Structure 1
Amino acid sequence: MSRKQTLWLAVAVVLAVIVAYQTVENSAQRSAQFVADADVPTVAPGEDVLAGVAVVPLRLRGHDYRRDAFGDAWTDDNDAPGGRNGCDTRNDILDRDLVDKTYVAISRCPTAVATGILHDPYTSLIVPFTRGNQTGAAVQIEHIVPLAYAWDQGARFWTDQMRVRFANDPANLVAVQGEVNQDKGDKEPALWMPPNAAFHCQYAMQFIAVLRGYRLPVDAPSVPALTRAAETCPTR
């Protein structure tokens, strides 16, 4: 390859990355809102629930994933109810998803959940929450589309700002029992679905909505798992 051809190839790659980022940035602004447990999505007969989501043959693990690429900690810059209120994303999601709550002021967050009850959508268990290093671990904030999965599917090419935004997007977050969160890890739908089959519809539709919103592809082995889960949704 000549020097001129090499130069043009490099320019083309740079332009492709810029266009891809702008597409993701614009699409992410339309990311779906979180599907609450009481708000079961409906699906039309014959509807292609994965329309608009690219499919790749496999999830290719690059073994270069870094959690800190998505930010070192939760931020207060999110669109959760009450967001940008001095409370970080974790505290906002606890407030959104727990019931029977009491509050305590901590640091810059005047309304941190002190105690509450989680009706865990992943297991259907009722999990008491008490703030503290050990007891607080009973309830964890889970990324529906795992960060490592997003990384492998293309988030490694995003800007740091976009990755922090993704990690703190309420549409991709849900409070769940700590043990089931650890069991899921960073597994894709082909390898893991919530033990509570009654939540498969909401889980699949939210997983798909996040992929679509951020223009992330799905791995082919996960397509039938998501499709089967969507088939459990009520029809409209």
Structure 2
Amino acid sequence: MPHAHRTSPRRYARRPRPAPAAALATAVSGLLVALTLGASPAAAQPPTPPSAQEAATMLSGLTERAEGSMDGYSRSKFPHWTDQGNNCNTREAVLKRDGEGVETGSDCYPTKGTWTSPYDGQKWTKPSDVDIDHVVPLAEAWRSGAAKWTQDKRKELANNLKIAQLLAVTDNVNQEKGDQDPAKWMPPSSGYHCTYARMWIWVKHTYDLTADADEKTALKKALGTC
């Protein structure tokens, strides 16, 4: 039986050792790549409102005027929960954005998730326990100038995800708020008053809505807590 031919050991060329600076750069680069590839995307949040200083400037620029009447008002004049793409309406888009671990069906309705209401700090696991609040209520907008708008502009306000006008909150807290302005209602969590005021002012500034004297006073007080 012939002997098997023994091959000589395979030799590999030794990779030159990089200079210390180059080695450090390579290590840092590798670490950054690893962190980037392994990082989870940040949880979505409502758009960040202007700083307290910016909000104070916006507040001073709001036209001060007594609220108008409710004559002719109807929520139907503010078409809401419109299509936001990906088979989601506005309500479903906010539930996905503001929740943690949200899973949805093919119709975009959440089947799983946890929602923490910024107004009172309560956590909920059923979408039915969560309302989507218009920070500046639609009726308040009507009394502050929206009565004179076109329906398309009112529709934009009711579904605007680009500013902090829509939040997922505890349903009964939202119902307690109703259409009241900050002179009559503020979130139960006092630590949220600063953010709430900045959001409210941002919406009113963006849409050139008016504010009455008591409302301005309450907002200025809330900004003082920032």
Tell whether 2:111 aligns with 1:114: yes
In the alignment, which residue of structure 2 is the partner of 1:140?
131
Distance across 2 between alignment mates of 1:91 and 1:43: 30
Structure that is richer in strand per residue:
1
Tell whether 2:81 aligns with 1:74: yes
SS at match of 1:55: coil
Structure label with greater radius of gyration: 2
Distance across 2 between alignment mates of 1:217 and 1:187: 14
Deviation at 1:202, TM superposition (A): 0.8
Deviation at 1:36, TM superposition (A): 4.6
Tell whether 2:126 aligns with 1:129: yes
Equivalent in 141, 162, 169 of residue 153 of structure 2: 162
In the alignment, which residue of structure 1 is the partner of 2:13?
none
SS at match of 1:75: coil
Quick check: 2:78–2:151 contact (8 Å CA) kept in 1? yes
Deviation at 1:232, TM superposition (A): 1.3
Q: Deviations over 1:138-174 (max 9, x none)?
A: 1010000000010111101111111111111122100
Tell whether 2:220 aligns with 1:232: no
Q: Which amino acid aligns with 2:169?
A: V
Equivalent in 170, 178, 200 of residue 193 of structure 2: 200
Superposed counterparts of 1:12-91, under 5 Å: 36=45, 42-44=51-53, 48-56=57-65, 58-71=66-79, 73-76=80-83, 83-91=84-92
In the alignment, which residue of structure 1 is the partner of 2:144?
153
Gapped regions of structure 2 (runs ≥ 5): 1-43
Tell whether 2:94 aligns with 1:103: no
Q: Deviations over 1:48-67 (max 9, x none)?
A: 451321111x2232332111
Quick check: 1:41–1:201 contact (8 Å CA) kept in 2? no
Quick check: 2:138–2:179 contact (8 Å CA) kept in 1? yes
In the alignment, which residue of structure 1 is the partner of 2:17?
none
Distance across 1 between alignment mates of 2:102 and 2:86: 18
SS at match of 2:125: strand
Deviation at 1:38, TM superposition (A): 10
SS at match of 2:153: helix
Distance across 1 between alignment mates of 2:152 and 2:51: 33
Q: Deviations over 1:3-60 (max 9, x none)?
A: xxxxxxxxxxxxxxxxxxxxxxxxxxxxxxxx95796864349x5451321111x223
Quick check: 2:186–2:193 contact (8 Å CA) kept in 1? yes
Q: TM-score, normalised by structure 1?
A: 0.70
Deviation at 1:113, TM superposition (A): 1.7
Deviation at 1:193, TM superposition (A): 0.5
Greater shift, 207-216 or 113-122, is seen at 113-122
Deviation at 1:85, TM superposition (A): 2.2
Q: Which amino acid aligns with 1:160?
A: Q
Quick check: 1:70–1:163 contact (8 Å CA) kept in 2? yes
SS at match of 1:149: helix
SS at match of 1:164: helix
Q: TM-score, normalised by structure 2?
A: 0.73
Distance across 2 between alignment mates of 1:213 and 1:41: 11
Gapped regions of structure 1 (runs ≥ 5): 1-34, 77-82, 131-135
Q: Deviations over 1:186-218 (max 9, x none)?
A: 011111000111110110001000000000011
Quick check: 2:133–2:174 contact (8 Å CA) kept in 1? yes
**Greater length-normalized contact order (CA 8 Å, ≥ 6 residues apart):** 1
Distance across 2 between alignment mates of 1:53 and 1:115: 41
